[in-house]
């Protein structure tokens, strides 16, 4: 009788497990299908409206906007990744359970829920008006960094807290200091999860428009023969105005009536932006896996 009851429970558990596996598989497949349809439609429209002259690096093409997008995301990651990872290390390894720590966590959560238009207005008031500057890429990168910091901080903290305690105990038992344990053992172990946070932060930077509308500006004037960093025409000058692909799409769809190719430019810019985000994610994933295998000795 007892064995019959156990067999019945086992069959019921297997049935529930099979059912939930199917449910979660269906949910995952739905999101995958949604991504394929969404990205495929945008890329198809972009390829359909593609013209070689639209890829030129001048005012008639979107080459400059493409470069501005990559450069601005690079600047924002240079700012946000070190600060966010350091903040995550502090919250996971050094901050105790106190009122100050609880206040910091509430502040991080509140910062992550701020609308980007509010961050853009803050960036305009602080990074533009208070400094007496004009619209520039650095101000846009700082605004995007404010949006990215909570994500990178929480991802780093969660990654460190999820590691088995044996990592810390084994390193300390061998005579390593707390800081050396963090830099040589814990961070390499949770590097793939930190990369996930960086990918999400970069994705937000690639597609951000509202915050950049107030800070980076909607004009681009680049001379690719001028590499003097002090010149406002230098491509690598971070203190020049720089319109990104997301802003260019918005501009072509709202103020592009004077340009007969505004629809084609917007579609091509959207397709290029989607390809850029997917490509960055894939490259980051590949590098993360290679680093993990090397760290594991494979």
For 171-238, the DSSP string reads HHHTT--HHHHIIIIIHHHTHHHHHHHHHHHHHHHHH--HHHHHHT-S-----TT---TTSTT-TT-T
Backbone φ and ψ for 229, nearest 5 degrees, come out as -60, -25
User: Is the pLDDT confidence value at 2 over 80?
Assistant: no
Asked whether residue 54 carries a pLDDT value surpassing 90, the answer given is: no
Other residues' Cβ atoms within 10 Å of the Cβ of residue 178: 13
Q: What count of residues does the chain have?
A: 298
- Tokens linked to 20: 């939930």
Residues 6+ apart with CB under 8 A from 32: none
Q: What pLDDT does residue 298 have?
A: 61
Q: How far is CA 15 from CA 18, 167, 168, 230, 232, in A?
A: 5, 37, 40, 68, 67
**Which DSSP symbol is given to 52?**
G
80, 71, 79, 56: which is closest to 237 by C-alpha?
71
Residue 213: Cβ within 10 Å count: 23
% of the chain residues with pLDDT over 90: 17
Q: Give pLDDT tens digits for 191-203.
A: 888 888 888 888 8
Amino acid 267: pLDDT:
86
Least confident of 28-42, 225-239, 241-255: 241-255
CB atoms closer than 10 angstroms to residue 82 = 11
Q: Where are the alpha helices (DSSP H) in 49-115?
A: 63-89, 99-112
- Rounded to the nearest integer, the mean pLDDT of the chain is 85
How many angstroms separate the CA atoms of 250 and 264, rounded?
13
At residue 69, the pLDDT reads 92
> Quick one: average pLDDT of 228-233?
86
Averaged over 69-88, what is the pLDDT? 93
CA distances from 48 to 43, 262, 267, 270 (A): 8, 14, 9, 12
Q: What is the pLDDT of residues 118-152, one digit of tens each?
A: 998 999 999 999 888 888 999 999 999 999 999 99
Cα distance between residue 17 and residue 190, in whole Å: 30
**Averaged over 236-256, what is the pLDDT?**
84
What does the buried/exposed string (b/e) look like for 221-235 if buried means 16 or more CB atoms within 10 Å of the residue's CB?
Answer: ebeeeeeeeeeeebb
For residue 81, the model assigns a pLDDT of: 93
């Amino acid at each position: 009788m007892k064995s019959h009851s156990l067999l019945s429970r086992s069959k019921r558990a297997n049935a529930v497990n099979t059912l939930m596996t199917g449910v979660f598989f269906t949910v995952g497949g739905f999101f995958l299908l949604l991504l394929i349809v969404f990205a495929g439609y945008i890329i198809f429209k972009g390829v359909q409206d593609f013209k070689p002259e639209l890829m030129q690096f001048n005012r008639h093409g979107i080459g400059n906007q493409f470069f501005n997008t990559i450069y601005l995301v690079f600047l924002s990651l240079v700012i946000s990744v070190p600060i966010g990872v350091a903040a995550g290390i502090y919250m996971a390894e050094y901050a105790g359970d106190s009122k100050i720590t609880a206040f910091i966590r509430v502040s991080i959560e509140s910062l992550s829920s701020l609308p980007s238009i509010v961050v853009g207005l803050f960036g305009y008031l602080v990074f533009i008006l208070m400094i007496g500057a004009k619209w520039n890429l650095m101000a846009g990168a700082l605004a995007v960094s404010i949006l990215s910091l909570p994500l990178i901080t929480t991802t780093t903290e969660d990654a460190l807290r999820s590691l088995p305690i044996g990592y810390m105990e084994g390193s300390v038992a061998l005579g390593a200091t707390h800081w050396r344990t963090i830099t040589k053992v814990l961070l390499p172990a949770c590097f793939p999860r930190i990369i996930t946070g960086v990918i999400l932060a970069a994705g937000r930077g690639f597609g951000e428009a509202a915050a950049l509308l107030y800070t980076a500006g909607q004009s681009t004037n680049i001379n690719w023969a001028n590499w003097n960093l002090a010149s406002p025409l230098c491509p690598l000058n971070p203190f020049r105005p720089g319109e990104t692909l997301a802003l260019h799409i918005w501009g072509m769809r709202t103020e592009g009536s004077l340009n007969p190719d505004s629809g084609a430019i917007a579609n091509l810019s959207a397709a290029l932006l989607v390809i850029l985000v997917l490509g960055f994610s894939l490259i980051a994933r590949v590098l993360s896996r290679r680093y993990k295998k090397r760290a594991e000795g494979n």
